[in-house]
Structure 1
C-alpha cells in the first residue's frame, strides 16, 4: 500500500511539474491583441474605414516567440441594416498583399450588405516583419538560371534570419490562426471567407482548424490542399492551351480563318527552340512563346484574340505576341512565398514528377511554371509541415466553388475535386474566363447571391446568357493586354 501511494504521489508530482511548465510557457507566449490605429495605407478621407493592427506570436509552437504586427482594415457597410457576418478576402500568391492599393470602399459590391475586413498576411508587404526578397522578383522576371535564383534565395534567407525572423512561423496554419484570433478579438461570431488562388488554400486551412467561425466560403480558382502543385505546374498550362486550340477548331469560323492551328502552334514552339524567332530586342525561344500565350490565357479580354496572335506569330508577325512577352517583376513577397511553399508543398512532392514538368515532351519549350525548385527550398531551410498540410479538407460549411474555362494555373477539375469531401459545396464554371472567375459581371452576381443566402438554390441565368468565347477573326490590330 505504501509503495502504491508513493507511486501515485510521484505520478501526481510529475503531472503537476508538466502542468506548471506548460503554464509558464503559456505565460511567456505573447497574447494576441488588436489595437486601433491609423491605416497602414493611405485611404480616401471621409469614408467609413477603420484600421488597426493585430499583434500575434511569430511562431505559436515556440514559448518564447516574439510578437509580430499585421495591419487590419475594416470597410464598413453602406447598407441601412448590415448583416452581422462580414466578408474577408484572402488574396492569391502566396505572397500578395491584402491591403496594397485598398484606398476606398467605393464601388465595392460586398459593402451593400455587410462589412469587409482585410488582414495583411504575416510576412507580407505591410506586415512587420516583411519577408521581401526583391532580388528574387527581378531574377524570376528575367527567367534567370536556377543557380542564380538559388543563390539569391540563400542571401535573402541569411539577411532575414540575421534580422531575427523565425522563418518556421510563416505557414498557412499560422495565418489561419491569425484570422481566427482577429475574428474573436473583434467579437464576430461567424464571417464569410472569399479565397482567390492561394487564398483558397488558406480558406481550406481555416475550415480545417476553425470551422466554428465560418458561415460560408467562396473559393475562386481552387488550389486543393492535397494537390501536389509542382507535379502539374506545366500540365495545367498545357490543358488550357489545348482547350483554346480545341475551341478554335470546333468553331467553324475560327477554324476556317486559322486552319491547323494546333500543328502551327507546335511548329512555332519547335522552330523557336531550334533557330529562335527574331524580335526587335531579342530572340524568342520556345518557352518565351509559351509564356506569352500563358500570359494571354490569364487575361479574358485577350483570350478571343489568341488564335489570331498565334497564327500571325507562326507567319513571323509578332505584333500581338510581343506585348505578352514583356513580363514585369511580380509583386510577390518571396520570403513568405518560399516559407509556405517549402514547408507545405515541397515535402510532399516527388522529384521525378516535378522534373517532368519541364520536359520537351509537353511541347511547351521546356517552360518552367514551378513555384520553387528543390534546390531553392534546400537553401531556404524551413521545417516540413505535418501530414495534415497535404490532406483534403472535410467540411459541411456551405461553399461556392468558381472556376474559369481557360485557367492555366488552377484547372477547373481542381475545383470539382473538393466536391468529394465538401457535401455542401457547389461548383460553377464561368465560360470564357480564366484565373479569377469571380472578377466579371456574372461571377460577381453569383458570388453576391450566394453570400446573401448560402443555402438558396443558385441561379444559372447569367451563365446561360454568356455567349462563350467569340474569337477575333478580323485582320486588324490584335487585342492588347
Structure 2
C-alpha cells in the first residue's frame, strides 16, 4: 500500500483491497511478442529469474478503451513459469496480486517457492494488471523522503498536492483502469495463450479480481483460491476502523491471557488509547539512531503516525508480536523503539504500488463518504480528501451483487487480519456452493505461506474439490507469543528487537 516514507502510513496497505453470467470479451488482442525466455532477460533484469528454468515473457496488446476501435493499444506484460514436467496439465494457475496497484510479475520473485509443488504439474501465469508494473502503469511522481520533523498533517498535505497533479495527468484514461477492464484482459490472455480453463489464486484486492472473473467467465474457471477476501462492497469508511480494532483487541486479549505479558505490559488497549490522547495533546519529537544506518535523526510522533504503525504492524505475524512492547515503552515515555519502528517502515517500499491505479480502484470501488458523526481513522480521512479530486469511472450494474457459483473455491483467512478478517470470507462463502473456508488462528494478512496451508492449496488445485479436505493441521498455526523484553534500567537505552529488522509485510 502506501509507498515508503509517510505514504506507507497514511494510505492503505498492502496488501487491500469483483466479484455469474458468462460473456464474450469485446477486447481484441494481438500477441506482439511470443512468450520466450530471452524476453525475460531483455525486458528488465529485475524480472529475470536465473534459478527458474524455462521462464517465458512477452506482451499482449489490448485496447485501452475496448468500446472504442480508435482507442490506443496498451501492452499487458505476461510471465509464464512452465510446469516442470513433460506432460503439463491443461489448466495453469494464474496468480493475481493485491494492492490494488501491485505488479504480479515483480511479486513473482517471492512466489516460486510458494507454488513449487503446483508447478510440478501446471504452468504458473503472472500478468501485470493494466495500470501496474509495465502494463501501461498509472504512476505518480510522489517526490522524495518527507521531512520527519513535519507533522502528519503537513506531510499529508504535501502528498495530497502530489496526488492531485497525478490525478490531473491521468484524468483522461483512469476510468479504463477499474477492475471490470482487468478481468476482460485476463480473458484475452487466456485465449491468446490457448488455455481452455484457468485455476485462479488471488490475494487481498486480487481476490476481488478473481471473483469478478469467476462471475464474468464461469465456464473458463476450474478452481479458485482466495487469500484474504476483499469483496466489492466492503465500504472502507465503515469497515476499516472496525476490522483494525478487532485485530488489536485479539492481540491485547492474548497478552492479557499470557501471565508474563500481562505483568510486563499491562492493558495494551487502554495504553494505546491513552497514548493516542497524549499525542493528540502534544506531539513528541524523538532523537534516535536509525536502526539500519545508525545515523542520528529525529522524528516527530503524533497520533496519525502511531495509528499507522499499529495498523501496518498487524499485517505481519512478526511485527504484531512487538506491538505490546512498542506501546508499553511509549506509554512509559520511552519512545525510541516506536521511533525506530517508524523509521524502518518509512524506508520500505514493500509492494511497488502504482499509485494512479491504486487510487483509481479505491476511489471508484471502495470509498464511500462516511455518514455524519461516523467515527473514522486517519486513513479514511485522507482517502476522502484524495477521492474528492480523483477521476470518476462508471462501474457495471452487477458490481455490488454477490458472486454466485458452483465452481470449487478455497477461502483462506487469517484470524488476526486487520483489513480482510474472516467475516469477509464468510460473506462470499454464502453464495459459493462448492467452497470451504479455512481460518488460520495465528494468521494475519496473507496466509498462503503459513504452516501447512501451502500443501493444502496444492492438494486443492490437484483435485479441484473441497470435499474430504483434512484441514486440522491449520490449528497448529498459533499466534506468535508476545515479545517480552527485559525491563531497562533507568536511563538505559532500549535496543530494537532483531525481529523488527527481519520482518517485512509480504503484501
Q: Deviations over 1:145-204 (max 9, x none)?
A: 55544433332233345xxx5222111111000101111121111111111111011111
**Cα distance 1:101–1:376, how it changes in 2: closer, same or farther (>3 A)?**
closer
Q: CA deviation at 1:292?
A: 1.6
1:53 aligns with 2:63: no
Q: Which has the higher contact order (CA 8 A, sep 6+)?
A: 2
Q: CA deviation at 1:244?
A: 0.9
**Cα distance 1:437–1:198, how it changes in 2: closer, same or farther (>3 A)?**
same
1:33 aligns with 2:54: no
Q: Which of 111, 115, 118 pairs up with 2:123?
A: 115
Structure 1 stretches (4+) deviating beyond 6 angstroms?
136-142
Check conservation: 1:344, 1:390, Cα contact below 8 A: no
For structure 1, the 5+ residue unaligned runs are 1-28, 359-366
Q: Deviations over 1:186-240 (max 9, x none)?
A: 1111111111111011111101111111111111111011221233222221111
Match of 2:332 in 1: 315
Give the TM-score taking structure 2 as reference length: 0.79
Match of 1:99 in 2: 105
**Cα distance 1:278–1:137, how it changes in 2: closer, same or farther (>3 A)?**
closer
Residue aligned with 1:380, SS: coil
CA RMSD of aligned residues (A): 2.8
Residue aligned with 1:351, SS: coil
1:383 aligns with 2:393: yes
Match of 1:361 in 2: none
Q: Deviations over 1:50-95 (max 9, x none)?
A: 1111111101233422211011111011235432211111111111
Number of residues paired by the alignment? 439
**Cα distance 1:104–1:81, how it changes in 2: closer, same or farther (>3 A)?**
farther
Q: Deviations over 1:298-327 (max 9, x none)?
A: 221222232222222221223432233122
Check conservation: 1:226, 1:392, Cα contact below 8 A: no
1:230-379 equivalences in 2 (<5 Å): 230-280=237-287, 281-326=298-343, 327-328=346-347, 330=349, 331-346=352-367, 349-352=368-371, 356-358=375-377, 367-369=378-380, 372-373=383-384, 375-379=385-389
**Cα distance 1:254–1:96, how it changes in 2: closer, same or farther (>3 A)?**
same
Match of 1:463 in 2: 474
**Cα distance 1:354–1:171, how it changes in 2: closer, same or farther (>3 A)?**
farther
Residue aligned with 2:452, SS: helix
1:181-192 equivalences in 2 (<5 Å): 181-192=188-199
Residue aligned with 1:126, SS: coil
Q: Which of 89, 96, 101 pairs up with 1:90?
A: 96
**Cα distance 1:259–1:379, how it changes in 2: closer, same or farther (>3 A)?**
closer
CA distance in 1, matches of 2:120, 2:373: 45
**Cα distance 1:469–1:370, how it changes in 2: closer, same or farther (>3 A)?**
farther
For structure 2, the 5+ residue unaligned runs are 1-25, 288-297, 488-494
CA distance in 1, matches of 2:408, 2:417: 24
Residue aligned with 1:408, SS: coil
Check conservation: 1:149, 1:376, Cα contact below 8 A: no
Q: Which has the higher helix share?
A: 1
Check conservation: 1:137, 1:332, Cα contact below 8 A: no
**Cα distance 1:235–1:370, how it changes in 2: closer, same or farther (>3 A)?**
farther
CA distance in 2, matches of 1:226, 1:475: 45
Q: Which of 229, 232, 237 pairs up with 1:222?
A: 229
Check conservation: 1:153, 1:379, Cα contact below 8 A: no
When Rg is computed on C-alpha atoms for both structures, the one with the higher figure is 1
CA distance in 1, matches of 2:145, 2:212: 31
